[in-house]
Amino acid sequence: MERKNRKNRIGTVLSNKMDKTAVVAVESHYKHPLYNKILKKVKKYKVHDPEKSCEPGDVVRISETRPLSKTKTWRLAEIIRKGQ
């Protein structure tokens, strides 16, 4: 897969307790087809973070990559904003 065609997401780090792995929550909004209400959907991704540079609360950009383990297919691209 070409690097320019990879998917990118922006999310918040929830946990970094695993070795070289962080859990990132990505929020999306969609409209209910019948009731026309805007709903929020949160999906958690396991992200490869080899330097353990992100902390819980950080806003990060993640990019899609080849499978690194059973559940890890995303890589930390950059830290946009540090958390408290």
Domain ranges in the chain?
A: 3-81
The owner of tokens 């353990």 is 52
Neighbour tally for 77: CB within 10 Å: 17
The pair of three-digit structure tokens given for residue 44, joined into one six-digit string: 């958690």
Using pLDDT thresholds of 50, 70 and 90, give the confidence band for residue 2. Answer: low
Cβ-contact 11, 25 below 8 angstroms: yes
pTM: 0.88
- Note the pLDDT of residue 70: 97
Pick the CATH number of 3-81 from 3.40.50.1100, 1.25.40.10, 2.40.50.140, 2.60.40.1180: 2.40.50.140
Which residues sit opposite 45 in a β-bridge?
A: 24
Whether the pLDDT of residue 83 is over 90: the answer is no
Task: Give tens-digit pLDDT for 17-76.
Answer: 999 999 999 999 999 999 999 999 999 999 999 999 999 999 999 999 999 999 999 999
Can you list the positions of beta strands (E) in 16-84? 21-31, 38-48, 59-64, 72-81
